[in-house]
Each structure stands twice: as structure tokens, then as C-alpha cells.
A and B are shown apart, each in its own frame.
Chain A
Amino acid sequence: MTISELQREASHAHIHPPPQGFVSRYVISFDHKVIAVQYFITSGLFFVLAGLLAEMIRAQLMQPHNTLLSAQTFSEAYSVHGSAMVWLVIIPVLTGGFGNLAMPLMIGARDVAFPWLNMFSFWLFPPAGILVFLSFLYGAPQAGWTEYPPVSLHTPGTALWCAGIFLIGVSSTITGINFMVTIIKMRAPGMTWTRMPLFVWATLVTAFLSAIATANLSAALAALFIEKIFHVPFYDPANGGSPVLWQHVFWFYSHPAVYIMILPAFGIVSEVLPTFVRRPIFGYRAIAYSSVAIGLVSFMVWAHHMFTSGLAQWVQLPFMILTMAVGIPTGIKIFSWVATLWRGRIRLSTPLLFVIGFLSCFTFGGITGVMLASVPADIHEHATYFVIAHLHYVLFGGSIFGIFAGLYYWWPKMTGRLLDERLGKIHFWVMFLAFNATFLPMHWLGLLGMQRRVAFYDNQFEGTNLLPMVAHTNVFVSISAFVLGLSMLIFAYNALRSATRGQVAGPNPWGARTLEWMTSSPPPYYNFAEIPLVLHGPYDYGKPLPYANISQDLATEPVD
């Protein structure tokens, strides 16, 4: 298309005046950028609470037969820790947070397709979190974040937990539908599918998974809730129900949810890498289409969580093979990112450090994932700390490192000020070392047979011969976990400090080329004075910017 044709297409997009008054601006806001900040703040609070629960768990595990927590409190702590980290921190931050903050700007839109629904979707989130934590007052769930019946049916707080997760599920579905329509219908003129930034690709697949898989979770939660309140048999074997049925419907959602928690982080990595390496991303199409492949395969692997639940062998085999096959599209991504780094002009600023942390930890977690996909290995390792180590390498080493990469990267766009680089690097190194010190030894503990989800353990796991320099492995792990928790304070200080003393960022502090940097920081209410026109893909470093209709002072070639 010629520029004049694109211009005609862009002509009917109005600028609406920004709302006046505190409430309509910051509380019941329809503005995707404000809603993103609301998600970050709310999730941040839940992150602190869920993190404190993790520290309680590690404090208990410093000694084999510690009396700090009762067995019941310990079970409540890890159950709510897991639930909160998955549904109240990682999923909302990556979809509601980064999706709202960056996606509409990256496609050159004024807002999402349904701003009212976006507001509504956010306001389902705080009550959901409060319900989950309120369950402590009634006797919180004790069956882990997966809440397997029949155990989950015997804790009074399960009903509150169900209600809370149901609300967050509805919120997730609405956001997914909203984002899909936004990306399909509202891209700036000229932004064809293969000119979309890779974070937008990741958000599109995530939105699809949120809309489809989460609806299934809502149904499962409703059934568990009905069974808990009215004693109708769905899952309780005492009444003729089937606990394995819950595992099927739960994991049919929760395995795709694993990719809801990682695909946006993949997207963040794909944005940060080319910016700080100053060269086009390697294998744009491979990265984009492998996200789609991962999204589709994610619906066909759920039963690999159930190898110890007595499935027939002919069921186990295809799930084992398909699960291992997920390694292929993921491997394509990892190799593309490493190839992007290869011979690039690397600037080791904080966002890129977190991306490199992501690449190393996530790859490690991916490999242990393939180990666990193997049925015989899984039967041995399923109930041990090996699984805890694996999932934290993927969800902390992957998702949380990706989240921090995104926070350091988009902080100036969100607030107009840069975070301090020196503090950021200290934060990275403390977090990276403490993370590995916490979770790496758990692989050994797990392979030796230390059981997960138990408040006490046998004396033999106090120290392991496999780590000769550490006599007391569990004490070492706990202290590392405390340091890991404290490293978040460095970020909190950095964030607060940037409000007053942070360097003013300007529209494009990193010299990036995607559209969110082609407007001021923070962007005006209407994002772009004129809807930009897109002439080429976003990652051609060294060439002129591929946009028209951008205000001239922004449209200069980014500085190196």
C-alpha cells in the first residue's frame, strides 16, 4: 500500500478528551496505561504476601523436625503461596500489566477494543486476591495450588479459594477476548501480521489461551465449589465421584496456563534483546510461529502431570512424546535469541542482564522439564523437591526474570523516569546468585528422595555428600531464600527513588524501534497525536525508522 492509501485508512480515528477528576483518572480508569499500573501495584502487594509465605516455608525447613509451624499451617502456607504466585502475581502482571502497558502502544492504537471491559476486568482482580488470602481466617486450602480432591474438600477455606480463583479466571477470560479483538482489529495501518512486534505475537497467543483454557478452569472451579457447598458428587470418591476427573479438567487448563505465564516473558525477551544488541532479531518468523505452535501443543500435554495417577500405559505414551515435543519450538526460540546475541554490539544494561539471566535459568528449567516428561523418571521424582526445583527454574528463573527485564525496560515509558542502572545491576546479581543458591541444591535433595509438601523431613537430608562445600544443605537453601527475598528491597528502593531522583527518560532512552517509543514518556492520554503508518518490520537496526505520521523530533534515527 502507498502512504496515501494508508493515510485514508487511518483518517477515522478520533481523539477523545482525557477524563477529569481523581476517580475517573486513577481509580475507575478506562485508560490502558493506568490500568496497567493498577495491575502492577496490586500484583506487587500480593507478591510481597506470597513471598513472605515462601520465607515462612523455608524458615520451617531449616531443621528436620522444626516446631516453628504446625503441619497444618505449613500446608496452608505452601498452598496459598503457589495459588497467589500463579494467579495473583505472574498471570496478572504478564497479561493485565505488560499486555495493557505495551501492546496497544506497540500496535499504534489509542486504546484496547473494549476499554470499559478492561476496567471491569481489573476490578475483579483485587477482590479475587482478597478472597484467596481471607481463606486463612477459615482454614486455608491445604492441597497445594492444584487443590486435588478429596483433601481440598475437607478444608473450610476451599470455598473462598474457589470463589477467588473463579473471579480471577473470569477476569483473565475477559482480558483475553479484549486483547484478541484489539490485536486482530486495531493494528495501525500497514502493520501486517509479520510486521507485528514479537511481544504482540506472544500476547495474541496468550490471549487465545486465556480466553479458551481459563473458561475450562471456571467450569472445574464451579463444580468443586458446588461439591463443597452442596455435597453433590463430582470429585469425592466417598460419594462416587472421581478425583482423577478433577486432575483432568484442572490440568487441561493449568498446562496451557504454564504457557500463559511464559509466552509474554518470551515476548519481553524478544523486545529487549535486539534493542540492546543493536541488530535485527534472528529468525523473526521462527520466533513468532513457534509461539503459535507452543500455544496449540499446550492443549495436548496436560496428562503429563498425572503419570502417578494411574493412567493406562497407552495414554501415558503419547503425552510423554508430545510433552518432549514442546522442547522443539522452545528450542527454536532459545537458539534464535542466542543467535541474536552472537556478534551483536552488546550493551550490558539492566534489562539485558535480566534477559541473560532468563535465558540461562529458563533453559536449565526446560531441560529438567524434558527429564520429568519421561514417565519412568517422573514416577521417581514426582513427589520430590526435584519438581519444586524444576518449576521454580521455569516460573521464577523464567517468568519473574522476564517480568523484571520488562519492568526495567518499560519503566521509563510508564513513569517518564529511568531506574538507576547501578542499583539495577546490584539487584540483578544478588537476585541471580540467591535464586540459583536457593533452587539448584533442591535438584539434589529431590533426587535423593526428599519429599515436597511435607513440613518435616528425615535427618539424612540435613546435609548431602553431593554438595561437599555445604554441610547443611537445607540451612543453606533457606538462607539463600531469605537473601532472595531481601533482593526485592533493592528494586523497591530503586523504584521509589526514581520517582524523585530518577533521570528524566525522554521518549526513547534505549534507542528502540518499536512504536511505543515513538511517543512521549509517559504517553499522552490518546497515545499518538496521529495514528502512525507502518511501512516495514520493527527490528531493522541501522536502517531509517519504518514509520510515517510520527512527530518529527521522535522520528530521528535512534542513537547508539
Chain B
Amino acid sequence: MATHAISIGDAEYQEVRSHRLLGFLFFLISDTIIFSSFIFSYLYDRSASAVWPPLGIERPGLYLAAVNSIVLFGSGVTMHLAMEAWRHANRSRFAGFMIATIVLGVGFLSGQAYEYTHLHDTWWGSVFGASFFTLTGLHGFHVFIGVIFLITVLLQTRRGVYDQSRYFGLTAATLYWHFVDVIWVALFFLFYVY
């Protein structure tokens, strides 16, 4: 992909870029559907139950989740600043904000791991727990993939794969990271607040 992108002309690059962008957007839409399906299941269980969360289950702690959310949204801000730096051709500032984003992403995952290990075992036996673990687990997996994605594109910029006019891999990583952020807003609201 990388060598190919450099060897072709500008017009063909623009065409290839537009294909990849559209394909990536369709991928994000179908990914949204996967999350929506689980969210539907959660809301279905919720509407079928007289008390929510079900008897014997307590909501997970809001405090840790709030801190974790700030970490994740902060990584969205640093991601945005990294892209701004890239557009202004400031490579060192770009690398700094990318590393900050990666660190914040890993911080979020650590917070989630801490939360999982401190929840009660009986959770696995309830519909609340089933939806909670599946949805936040799926989201955590997305964050994990996102961190790998960010590390990969950062290393690629070091190797000179992208230049000022051709950086679709970077754009895709940014879109993906913001997408994962937005999904978290819905999950936070559902599990900790609503």
C-alpha cells in the first residue's frame, strides 16, 4: 500500500483515497450496527425488568468511570491536536501528541482492567452483567485495536510512508479513534447514569 501510494500519479491517488475513505466510512457504519445490536439487547432487558439494575446487582462505580472517560476524551483532544500539527507540517509536535494519545489510550484500558477485577463475581450471572461485559469488552477491544493502529501509523510516519499531501492511513486512524470515543459516550450514559 505504502510504496504503491508513492508510485502513482496525483489523480489516481485521489481516486484511490476516495475509495478507501468511502469503504472506511461504510466499515464504521457496520461497526456502529454491531454496537447498536448489543445496546438494543440491553434496552430490551431493561424494559422487561421491573427494577433496574436487576435485584442483587449494583451499578459499577461512577467515580472511576468518570475519571476513565476524561482520560479517553482527553486522548480525543490530543489526537485532534496531533492532526493539526501534521497539517502544519510540525513533525515533532505531531509525534508528541501521538505519543500522548497512545499513553492516554493505554491509561483508559488500565482503568477498565482495574474496574473489571474489582467487580463482583455474581455479575456474570445477570443480564445486566452480560450486557455490561460484552459491550464494554467490545469497546475495550476497539480501544486496544486503536492503540495498535496509532502505534503503526506513528512508526510509518518515521519511515516516511506519508507526506504532506498523502496520508490516508493517518486520516483513517483519526476517524477510528474519534469513533471509539463517541461510542463510549453512549456506553457511559447507559451503564453508569441511565
Contact = CB atoms under 8 A, between A and B. Distances in A.
A174 to B, nearest CB: 9
Given A232-B129, A232-B133, A245 B45 contact: yes
Contacts of B23: 113-114, 177-178, 181
A185 B37 contact: no
Contact of B22 (A181, A218, A231, A232): A181
Given A14-B12, A239-B125, A220 B22 contact: no
B41 interface: yes
B114 interface: no
Interface hub of B18, B33, B44, B124 (most chain A Cβ within 10 A): B33
B126 A212 contact: no
Contact of A234 (B36, B41, B54): B41
A220 B133 contact: no
Contacts of B127: 233-234, 240-242
Interface string B1-26: 00000000101100100110011001
B34 A218 contact: yes
The SS class assigned to the B binding surface is helix
Interface string A225-258: 0110011111000011110010011001000000
Nearest to A218: B34
B92 interface: no
A216 interface: yes
A219 interface: yes
Given A114-B19, A240-B127, A177 B134 contact: no
A211 interface: yes
B110 interface: no
Nearest to A217: B37
The SS class assigned to the A binding surface is helix
A223 B134 contact: yes
B116 interface: no
Contacts of A14: 12
A184 interface: yes
B124 A230 contact: yes
A115 to B, nearest CB: 11
Contacts of A293: none
* Interface range for B: 20 to 34
A212 B134 CA distance: 20
A233 B54 CA distance: 13
B70 interface: no
Contacts of B33: 212-213, 215-216, 219
B192 interface: no
B193 interface: no
Contacts of A218: 34
B30 A185 contact: no
Interface in A109-127: 113-114
B38 A223 contact: yes
A107 to B, nearest CB: 14
Interface residues of A, number: 39
B24 to A, nearest CB: 9
A82 to B, nearest CB: 22
B54 to A, nearest CB: 7
Contacts of A214: 30
Interface string A526-559: 0000000000000000000000000000000000
B45 A242 contact: yes
A267 to B, nearest CB: 21
A343 B41 CA distance: 54
Given A233-B127, A240-B126, A240-B127, A220 B45 contact: no
B27 interface: yes
Contacts of B52: none
B30 A177 contact: yes
Interface hub of B23, B36, B133 (most chain A Cβ within 10 A): B23
A176 B9 CA distance: 28
A215 B40 CA distance: 14
Nearest to B8: A14
B31 interface: yes
A227 to B, nearest CB: 8
A252 B36 CA distance: 12
A260 to B, nearest CB: 14
Nearest to A13: B12
Contacts of A252: 37
Interface hub of A214, A227, A233 (most chain B Cβ within 10 A): A233
Contacts of A242: 44-45, 48, 127
Contacts of B186: none
B128 to A, nearest CB: 10
Given A12-B11, A232-B130, A233-B130, A223 B41 contact: yes
Contact of B134 (A185, A211, A226, A249): A226
A348 B110 CA distance: 69
9 contacts: A177-B23, A181-B19, A186-B19, A213-B33, A219-B37, A219-B38, A223-B134, A233-B126, A245-B44
Given A211-B30, A232-B134, A245-B44, 10 more contacts: A12-B9, A12-B12, A12-B15, A177-B30, A216-B34, A218-B34, A234-B41, A241-B127, A242-B45, A249-B40
The 8 closest A-B pairs by CB, nearest first: A219-B37, A215-B33, A215-B30, A232-B130, A177-B26, A216-B37, A113-B19, A219-B34
Interface of A: 12, 14, 113-114, 173, 176-178, 180-181, 184-186, 211-216, 218-220, 222-223, 226-227, 230-234, 239-242, 245, 248-249, 252
